């Protein structure tokens, strides 16, 4: 299983559609503890990112991901734009000039994205952010690769770990964003940003089933 540049373009379009389909759910989650605009902002920015990468004349994976990162930072704005943009931009640096993304390179991409997010925001596991999704997802993918599981199965395990990570944020007290000011009252609500990241990784697994 290898994601070529054109496969990555397809992937981003699928991610855009996934976020669009879950816009209302993301908005509902964000309205509980935040501004209530996460779903709309994610949808708008991912749609623009999908349009931008589709127009690339000669896409390679790192260029596709770097383009997405720039679009999210510039067009989404706010803390979420920086966080999600940093994920794609940080990851793109780890796969620079590669012609494809296999599972080993995907791990490098995700590790690079996680490192950039943590460099920007300092969040750790347990802080009720997308870090709570990325860390278990990376660990699950590393385990699957070490066990020589089929690529499609490895991606499913990654996505399942990501979803479980997002769900785990329900019982956490927020340490960042507007939800931070709610203190203990932020418990019981799943983090919208973590949910978006889980959807992004789920889409990666779904796209991988076709390769």
What digits encode the pLDDT tens for the residues 198-211? 999 999 999 999 87
> What percent of the chain has a predicted confidence (pLDDT) above 90?
78
- How far, in Å, CA of 209 to CA of 153, rounded? 9
Least confident of 30-44, 48-62, 156-170: 30-44
Q: Which residues pair with 3 in a beta bridge?
A: 101
List CB contacts of 210: < 8 A, sequence separation 6 or more.
none
| pLDDT tens digits for range 140-197 | 999 999 999 999 999 999 999 999 999 999 888 776 665 554 556 557 789 999 999 9
Q: Which residues pair with 168 in a beta bridge?
A: none
Q: How confident is the model at residue 1 (pLDDT cuts 50, 70, 90)?
A: confident
pLDDT score recorded for residue 176: 60
Map out the domains of the chain as residue ranges.
Answer: 3-208
Q: How confident is the model at residue 102 (pLDDT cuts 50, 70, 90)?
A: very high
**Correct CATH for 3-208 of 1.25.40.340, 3.20.20.10, 3.40.640.10, 3.40.50.2300:** 1.25.40.340
- How far, in Å, CA of 159 to CA of 151, rounded? 12
Residue 147, phi then psi, degrees to nearest 5:
-90, 5
pLDDT score recorded for residue 184: 61
């Amino acid at each position: 299983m290898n994601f070529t540049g054109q496969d990555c373009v397809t992937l981003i379009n699928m991610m855009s559609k996934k976020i669009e389909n879950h816009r209302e759910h993301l908005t509902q989650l964000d309205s509980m503890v935040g501004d209530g605009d996460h779903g709309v902002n994610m949808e708008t920015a991912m749609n623009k990112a999908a349009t931008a990468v589709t127009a690339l004349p000669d896409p390679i994976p790192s260029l596709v991901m770097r383009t997405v990162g720039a679009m999210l930072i510039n067009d989404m704005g706010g803390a979420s734009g920086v966080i999600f943009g940093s994920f794609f931009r940080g990851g793109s640096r780890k796969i620079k000039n590669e012609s494809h993304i296999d599972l080993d390179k995907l791990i490098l991409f995700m590790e690079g994205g996680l490192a950039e997010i943590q460099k920007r925001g300092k969040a750790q596991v347990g802080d009720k952010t997308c870090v709570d999704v990325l860390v278990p997802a990376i660990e699950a993918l590393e385990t699957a690769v070490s066990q020589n599981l089929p690529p499609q199965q490895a991606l499913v395990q990654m996505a399942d770990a990501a979803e479980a990570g997002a769900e785990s944020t329900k019982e956490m007290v927020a340490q960042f964003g507007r939800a931070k000011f709610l203190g203990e009252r932020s418990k019981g609500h799943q983090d919208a940003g973590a949910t978006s990241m889980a959807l992004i990784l789920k889409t990666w697994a779904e796209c991988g089933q076709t390769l």
